[in-house]
Amino acid sequence: MNPTRAFYPVQLALLTLISLPALATEGGVDNIGPGTDGFYILPLDVNNLPDHMFAFNIYYNHYEAKKLDISSLGGKVPDVKIKSDAIIPRLDYLSPLRVFGGRLGGYIAQPYLKQQVSLFGMSDTRESMGDTTVAPIILWDLGKNLTVGTALEITLPTGEYDATRLANTSNNFYTYKPLVSATWLPNERTELSIKTTYSFNKENPDTHYRSGQIFHFDYSASYKVTDNLSLGVNGYYLKQTTDDKQYGRTVVNIYGEDVDDGVKGQVFAIGPAVYFTFLKYASAEVRWAKEFDVQNRPEGDMLWAKLTIPFAL
């Protein structure tokens, strides 16, 4: 194998920077949005929901990091400041159509982002629409206390991208993510939700860089302290499983050492969360998570807030 070895300073900076976690970049990150989904990822009692069920969701995300681990490129990067904010409306739809015994639906999300990046003595800020995500989904009702879903998320490079800039609101490549999720109530006051994805990234045509495949897992657990208020924990785990490549060659150490690392990223995060229901079916939640065990990624704090308003037509 002939690994890619040399990068100009700006290319290296671009390779190692992080955009909004809802829209990751090259260098081992991804179009994932770790921690996006928390409590009650899926609706329960799906078979008894109206034939044409909708949910309007509005997410707010804030991410801030002052550490950047690039093990593949020589270790810790000094003087890093990465800050991003996003507002992400998402519309969910559940139809009466049945596929493999489950109800067919879909969703679309369109973020608006503000990115601020400082590293290697350079800084940049960018604010605009980001990459669009669409997905068909099938939900299976396995009783009033358990719903399982599967989907195929497709992220489209609809945001703004410039290979010479540090901050971008697009990754400039397509990502395909098969997804499995579940929400389970083991008893009347306890809730557990999980979401697992596996990402397949296409090549960025401007840089000829292809980020590796990534396994990703969101989790949450909550307990009802009142009929309307739940407290719990949430977090995520992300592990890159295949090498990053550029011009078809594995990306390795900045010093040209043939370590065959592939710039594989990894992160684990955990933190507290609160969930509140109102107007019978609407809900709001706030979740915070601290990142640990980071490799080839920024290390920081993640905040998600979400408002959900379901309705039927």
Contact 82, 68 (CB under 8 A): yes
Whether pLDDT at 6 is above 60: no
Largest CA distance in the chain: 60
Q: Around 239, how many Cα atoms within 13 Å sit in the side-chain half-sphere?
A: 5
Q: Element (H or E) spanning 190, and its range?
A: strand 190-201
> Which pLDDT does position 67 carry in this prediction?
84
Q: Which two tokens stand for residue 175?
A: 């990502």
Give the residue, 229 or 295, on which the prediction is more confident: 229
- Give pLDDT, residue 3: 33
Span 79-132, pLDDT tens digits: 788 899 999 999 999 999 999 999 999 999 999 999 898 877 889 999 999 999
Contacts of 101 (CB under 8 A, 6+ apart): 140
Residue 10: phi and psi, rounded to 5, are -65, -40
Burial 10-20 (b: 16+ CB within 10 A, else e): ebbbbbbbbbb
* pLDDT tens digits along 146-170: 999 999 999 999 999 988 888 888 8
Q: In the numeric block, which tokens belong to residue 289? A: 């998570």
CA distance 126 to 76: 25
Q: Please, what is the average pLDDT of the chain? A: 86
User: Mean pLDDT across the stretch 179-188?
Assistant: 97
Q: According to the model, what pLDDT value does residue 245 have?
A: 86
Helix, strand or coil, per DSSP, at residue 161? coil
Please, what are the domains in the chain?
9-312 (2.40.160.40)
- Per-position b or e across 109-132, b if 16+ CB within 10 A of its CB: bbbebbbbbbbbeeebebeeebbb
Q: Is 70 exceeded by the pLDDT of residue 16?
A: no
pLDDT tens, residue by residue, 254-307? 444 444 455 688 899 999 999 999 998 899 999 999 999 888 888 899 999 999
In the prediction, which pLDDT does 216 show? 95
Confidence of residue 244 (pLDDT cuts 50, 70, 90): confident
Output the pLDDT for position 164.
86
